[in-house]
């Protein structure tokens, strides 16, 4: 049953990826990568049976309600590019949700990314989609810099696959790596600002 569903989700992911890459973001500077995936059976089952803090299932109708059955990412060079890409996506798709995920405390360093949930455009659904029972209506997208991604992917792999609880010291080390990624992005922004200022100054001298 899920095999057919997964095949259709894969085709939808391919369609949305091609549309984002070749239409929505065509010619946009500083885009390193655009890629989408369909959630596989194991990941779907784990999320479908997840419980909230009260012990109640998070998803009453998981085949409809899980928003990231199809999900994608856009990786960009610089922090300022996140807003550029976000504007493009908001024009291209009907947005259901948008949130910037980042640490709330000024002295904390952890996961950062711009998250979206968009309505699936009818013209991108694959043949056979109409016959799918309990269809999802949305797909998820993230926009992040290469530094954000370089921290988030290995950190997720470590935390997700760890057979034991991470120690306080191990978590501090991961936070240190996150602060380094944040610093890399900050330095790039400073260099870009400096170059722009010197370029403008040189124009004024002519």
Question: So where are the chain's domains?
Answer: 2-191
- Per-residue pLDDT tens for 122-132? 999 999 998 88
Q: Is residue 76 over pLDDT 90?
A: yes
DSSP 38: E
The pLDDT of residue 80 is: 97
Distance of CA 122 to the CA centre of its chain: 22
- Is the pTM higher than 0.75? The answer reads yes
Q: What DSSP state is assigned to residue 56?
A: -
Non-local CB neighbours of 115 within 8 Å, separated by 6+ positions? 97, 98, 99, 100, 101, 140, 141, 142
CATH label, 2-191, candidates 1.10.3720.10, 3.40.50.1000, 3.90.1150.10, 3.30.460.10: 3.30.460.10
Least confident of 18-22, 163-167, 181-185: 163-167
* The pair of three-digit structure tokens given for residue 189, joined into one six-digit string: 């922004």
Q: Strands 31-38 and 70-76: what pairing?
A: antiparallel
Alpha helical stretches, state H, 30-167: 41-48, 62-65, 79-92, 146-161
Residue found under tokens 């095999």: 3
- What pLDDT digit, counting tens, does each position of 12-64 carry? 999 999 999 999 999 999 999 999 999 999 899 889 898 888 888 999 988 89
């Amino acid at each position: 049953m899920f095999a057919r569903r997964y095949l259709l989700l894969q085709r939808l992911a391919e369609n949305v990826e091609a549309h984002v890459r070749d239409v929505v973001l065509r010619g946009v500077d500083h885009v390193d990568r655009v890629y989408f995936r369909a959630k596989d059976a194991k990941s779907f089952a784990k999320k479908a049976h997840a419980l909230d803090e009260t012990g109640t299932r998070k998803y009453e109708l998981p085949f409809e309600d899980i928003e990231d059955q199809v999900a994608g990412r856009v990786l960009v060079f610089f922090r300022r590019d996140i807003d550029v890409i976000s504007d493009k996506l908001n024009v291209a798709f009907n947005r259901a949700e948008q949130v910037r995920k980042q640490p709330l405390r000024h002295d904390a360093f952890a996961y950062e990314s711009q998250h979206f949930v968009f309505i699936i455009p009818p013209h991108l659904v694959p043949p056979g989609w109409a016959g799918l029972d309990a269809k999802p209506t949305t797909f998820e997208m993230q926009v992040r810099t290469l530094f954000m991604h370089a921290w988030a992917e290995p950190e997720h792999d470590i935390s997700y696959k760890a057979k034991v609880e991470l120690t306080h010291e191990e978590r501090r080390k991961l936070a240190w790596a996150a602060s380094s990624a944040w610093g890399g992005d900050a330095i790039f922004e400073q260099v870009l600002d400096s170059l722009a200022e010197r370029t403008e100054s040189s124009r004024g001298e002519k």
